Structure 1
């Protein structure tokens, strides 16, 4: 559109009518092929509810696990706050004139989880102790002035004027900046405390009259030691005017404080140590509440759970990242499995099963577990299952109920077996319940050598130890709400009565045996006859099984039968695919990224990422139309340990000339001009940045190759 006019003017052109772009919601990605045959929106809704439940439960668990430590930390801060307010004589006894109360919070190496702990601490402080709680990180405190600036800005809520900047006289009152000094902080604090006393002289508040200033150093080890030393020295001069309290977040060991701060500085701190629970205990609690339970409908296969646990143990020890992996598995399951709409509460699952479409019924018939179920039925039943959709829906509802009963029996028996074997020497079935759970998911646990050795050790337990362990199992079975668990509990109660009856009988039997032995030994005999008598007595004792041993074997046989009946792998249950996510390879690829492999794939096969038809080539070849870095990478693979830059440049220029379509017989073909030289230098710089080559002092015009082979 163009307009010619002698005078200037304003012209309005209506835009061409365009189709309004459809906004795609998250639930639309769960719908396959534009048809809602797989209950895409319902699956998304169920997935979202379970996702929110995971988040809520993990936050509650985190608060419960840290409650004891945080309560102790709050008491520590309140103690020094009260002392500062009273200005009593015991103030000097609690800390010397220049000492700063410091809490050394040892949280462990699971750094990604520390944010949740510090957030909980900050919230508790602001609720019950002080509104002046500031969190600091090393990356934002590269110098002392930056550290002071962050503290003042977050406390005072205004900008801070650094020395190299001058205040603009045109600033409004709200935009005024204060000088970056501890003296300015003192003046501000006195003003705030006075206002607080004037506003509420007679009112009782949960906050103290002179609230302390709590400075939380989240990653203490990452701070520059020199900056910390100077900051502590400055603060110690003002401790009588400012109620400062430090909290050091330590990931490694409390000795880090002595390593980073000299004695002249650390002596200015009144340090008290606070230890959090280990990350393995956190993980055990999360697995106990979210995975080893029948209340949570979504399940993980043994291999998937092993991937998540391996990443936790060998990479970061982060429970937070473990939960994110669990959420990723949840999302993948509901996105890739159309029948996951049945992975929900019992009432909703039966409702969706009753309304399955013909396409969904066909998907059920294609499930491996359902195919095995059909093969085990009578011929007439097989015909019904393969031809009648309504019959499949009815059977599907029954199978979902059976699957729920299987889980209600599986988890109590699993906990009982773990209780029995977790204290055995060398832990034949694992020390943590997750190890036993993974073994039960993958194979018949009673067919393993570890199970046999565990049962042999259990048959050697003393009476007191056995009875106490069985009572723990009885408490677990009480939580079960099935006929099988109630029946097992009744059997255990009978054995407890029998064990108590043994206490009275064992003493009488022991007296009779001793009397018989004494009579045998009192008979006058020679040395040979005495030896023979002793051997007969020993043989008689070894062959005779005591009543306790009989009861012990019977009680353990009850548990052995329960294990063989209820701890069978979930793959044997029809429709287990509805609840279990088993694609461990997909999860490993998402969570265990291999950047070098991805980079080499992109450089060797640029079509894989760029999807440009001109980049399609045979295996081992790179198109001359590929990006410069791909061409340079392919050429460097043909060189040895040292690469001559001039030879590399000439080879690159030849390929670049072919890409430009120049005649191979012309003089311009393969000639290095300024543009090609600049492109080559950029490609080599990028390869050096990625770690494929580096400069070397052996030869000035060469670079050293750092990797070998491609993907």
Structure 2
């Protein structure tokens, strides 16, 4: 036997490929393990010889520092996202609560009036309340006051928060509250289940047998007697009509003793109770019709609070805004879907953009000091990356970036504030012409329209009814031109109110606000005002601005001037990538998704997912060690729209049976190795049928038809 080589133990010790390194050994630990003699020798070498720089040892601490910096910046972006979205969410809650507060006050006023009307008929004593027979047999005394709230929402998810806030509002004013869901008002539970749920919400000790007499006994005690009981049903259309009708018939016998009122939410039309309940049950109701704000009104309020006004420093691009608008209307105007999509866009922005944590400076009182401290702590490479943003390097910028990031972000915040003020003035004028804020917002942030306006002087000319009707103002300026045209043909009283709102929106813009004040102080003759009130010229396609009041022309010219000068989209400003989310493809794939394509990609690139050596050693060729479904999906790429089942099966059979042959030919051992026995035809057919069925379930192909039983049709194409 030959002497073993000295390099063999070192090679075996250094070969740690099959193992995982859990912890790196520290320098102190390695020094403590070494012997004193070795340490003294190493110390002598370090003293006698100059230290030669080792590139690997110098690179490792730098990589560790970079990883630590990346983790720190990820944590900063995560904190910035939570801070930004908490601000947006609180703003959304305040806006929706403010919109619903008017309805809540109407419901509370109706409850108080109904309770006073019942008490004016008769005020029973506690002993009379617990009597089983009715005190009055008049039909009028058996009607239950019921408020039908028309929500106009196609999806129930938007009404959950509304009715929860309504319950809190009524409960804070001393009413007893109970809620019955559509599940409880189903034929499965019956009236007994409804009464049991009602008692469970009001009584602390619920009896075994659910009866209205237990509710009457509870109502006679303490302070319960002087307040009404409100039962809220938030989704009337989903309830069982028979169960609800029987419940109404039962409670109507006790309405004088126990003042029970109903508040029912209706999503479709006010005819829904007539379609759901019987005529006898409808006669036991004393209806009152109330209407909640429409989804478009709530959407306008939300867009104004979270997108137009810089409440959190986060904004979206034109493509993202158009996608969110279409997504909102595609989901039947559901506010919840819009909010969830906006939250996803916000999270994607902070996860993708490295400098997005600087958005928090928009919320600070002293933004410049915040940005100066954050930017000063950044590495030089990231500072250069900030000035290498596409918005800072392109030549067609209307506003040139400076050499200071703090000044650039401050200028960006100022221009965004001016943009918000001008857009609010446009919407204040356009809403009188039924222009939605979401539509005019999508036009105001369109960078192509702004570039087109700068290069084409015709679009900057004063809009008239003639060029609006002929379409010369451009399809992109449809809503903005409609808002300008509304000011031109606006009655004088309405124009005065609009100018007052403009002066509020333009408080920070002194020069423009002075012009608005000048328009407000403009005096008109009595004849002009009389003509304006009595006979205002109607708008037509052939009319011109001859018969209009000069004040309207001045207001239109002022609005058009500030629109062209100050309505600069955020995508035309330097450093906008820090606060603006632009990647609509990421948002679209996250919201809508393409599961069929993702399944196909996972099947085609299963080697990259598994990271195994058995499947990737053959390179491009399909390996027999892959899953049968993955093998079939790879083979299907060789065909067109249709796949011949017989050819497909032969290809699959050839790959499966090639596994044993490759082992026999490529075996490096001298001894003759036994080849893997080939599988029987029945087993291969079974595996083939199972793989085809799985591809059909995943939606990648359609099974054969009776006309062509030997062909299957592909549904998903491309890599």
Classify the secondary structure of the residue corresponding to 2:593.
coil
CA contact (8 A) 1:624 1:655 kept: no
Q: Which residue is 1:193 aligned to?
A: 219
Q: Which residue is 1:339 aligned to?
A: 355
Say if 2:176 is the partner of 1:128. no
Cα deviation, residue 492, structure 1: 3.3
Classify the secondary structure of the residue corresponding to 1:417.
helix
Cα deviation, residue 589, structure 1: 1.4
Q: Which residue is 1:399 aligned to?
A: 408
Residues of 1 paired with 2:167 and 2:385: CA distance?
Answer: 51
Cα deviation, residue 281, structure 1: 0.7
Q: Which residue is 2:513 aligned to?
A: 489
CA contact (8 A) 2:423 2:567 kept: yes
Say if 2:303 is the partner of 1:287. yes
Say if 2:313 is the partner of 1:269. no
1:105 aligns with one of 149, 153, 156: 149
Residues of 1 paired with 2:311 and 2:111: CA distance?
Answer: 40
Structure 1 432/151 Cα, relative in aligned 2: closer, same or farther at 3 Å? farther
Residues of 2 paired with 1:597 and 1:36: CA distance?
Answer: 32
Q: Which residue is 1:315 aligned to?
A: 331
Q: Which residue is 2:380 aligned to?
A: 358
2:98 aligns with one of 60, 64, 73: 64
Residues of 1 paired with 2:301 and 2:622: CA distance?
Answer: 52
Cα deviation, residue 157, structure 1: 6.4
Residues of 2 paired with 1:223 and 1:705: CA distance?
Answer: 46
Cα deviation, residue 465, structure 1: 3.2
Mapping of 1:226-241 within 5 angstroms?
226-233=242-249, 235=251
1:252 aligns with one of 257, 261, 268: 268
Cα deviation, residue 311, structure 1: 0.6
Q: Deviations over 1:555-602 (max 9, x none)?
A: 544444323321233333222222211111111111222334334444
CA contact (8 A) 1:622 1:630 kept: no
More displaced 10-residue stretch of structure 1: 259-268 or 629-638 = 629-638
Q: Which residue is 1:349 aligned to?
A: 371
Q: Which residue is 2:715 aligned to?
A: 708
Say if 2:604 is the partner of 1:578. no
Q: Which runs of 5+ in 1 are unaligned?
A: 1-17, 21-30, 160-173, 201-206, 386-391, 508-541
Mapping of 1:139-150 within 5 angstroms?
143-145=187-189, 148-149=192-193
Cα deviation, residue 106, structure 1: 1.9
Structure 1 431/285 Cα, relative in aligned 2: closer, same or farther at 3 Å? closer
Say if 2:193 is the partner of 1:152. no
Structure 1 502/238 Cα, relative in aligned 2: closer, same or farther at 3 Å? closer
Q: Deviations over 1:472-497 (max 9, x none)?
A: 24532444344xx2112223333444
1:669 aligns with one of 675, 679, 686: 679
Q: Which residue is 2:38 aligned to?
A: none
CA contact (8 A) 2:628 2:691 kept: yes
Structure 1 267/420 Cα, relative in aligned 2: closer, same or farther at 3 Å? closer
Cα deviation, residue 133, structure 1: 1.0
1:369 aligns with one of 391, 394, 397: 391
CA contact (8 A) 2:629 2:692 kept: yes
CA contact (8 A) 2:150 2:291 kept: yes
Classify the secondary structure of the residue corresponding to 2:179.
strand
Q: Which residue is 1:115 aligned to?
A: 160
2:423 aligns with one of 414, 417, 439: 414
Q: Which residue is 2:566 aligned to?
A: 566
Q: Which residue is 2:226 aligned to?
A: 209
Residues of 2 paired with 1:237 and 1:620: CA distance?
Answer: 81
Say if 2:58 is the partner of 1:34. no
More displaced 10-residue stretch of structure 1: 50-59 or 292-301 = 292-301
Say if 2:598 is the partner of 1:598. yes
Classify the secondary structure of the residue corresponding to 1:574.
coil
CA contact (8 A) 2:423 2:441 kept: no
CA contact (8 A) 2:644 2:712 kept: yes
Q: Deviations over 1:632-672 (max 9, x none)?
A: 7778997999999xx89977994895498599999963433
| TM-score scaled by length of structure 1 | 0.68
Q: Which residue is 2:445 aligned to?
A: 438
Q: Which residue is 2:523 aligned to?
A: 500
1:472 aligns with one of 491, 498, 513: 498
CA contact (8 A) 1:642 1:702 kept: no
Residues of 2 paired with 1:259 and 1:506: CA distance?
Answer: 52
Cα deviation, residue 40, structure 1: 3.7
CA contact (8 A) 1:302 1:441 kept: no
Q: Deviations over 1:226-274 (max 9, x none)?
A: 5445554555566566654433332222222222333344333333322
Structure 1 504/313 Cα, relative in aligned 2: closer, same or farther at 3 Å? closer
More displaced 10-residue stretch of structure 1: 87-96 or 102-111 = 87-96
Classify the secondary structure of the residue corresponding to 1:144.
coil
Residues of 2 paired with 1:614 and 1:442: CA distance?
Answer: 56
CA contact (8 A) 1:339 1:578 kept: yes
Mapping of 1:561-710 within 5 angstroms?
561-603=561-603, 605-606=605-606, 624-627=624-627, 630=630, 654=653, 658=657, 661=660, 669-672=679-682, 677=686, 708-710=715-717
Q: Deviations over 1:388-426 (max 9, x none)?
A: xxxx4xx222222221221222222223334445556x9
Q: Deviations over 1:206-241 (max 9, x none)?
A: x6536425142x333233445445554555566566
Cα deviation, residue 500, structure 1: 1.6
CA contact (8 A) 2:103 2:291 kept: yes
Residues of 2 paired with 1:306 and 1:543: CA distance?
Answer: 34
CA contact (8 A) 1:354 1:397 kept: no
Classify the secondary structure of the residue corresponding to 2:226.
coil
Cα deviation, residue 276, structure 1: 0.8
Classify the secondary structure of the residue corresponding to 1:273.
strand
Residues of 2 paired with 1:372 and 1:639: CA distance?
Answer: 44
Cα deviation, residue 76, structure 1: 3.2
Q: Which residue is 2:182 aligned to?
A: 137
More displaced 10-residue stretch of structure 1: 129-138 or 453-462 = 453-462
CA contact (8 A) 1:144 1:227 kept: no
Residues of 2 paired with 1:185 and 1:682: CA distance?
Answer: 58
| TM-score scaled by length of structure 2 | 0.68
Q: Which residue is 2:49 aligned to?
A: none
Residues of 1 paired with 2:620 and 2:278: CA distance?
Answer: 59
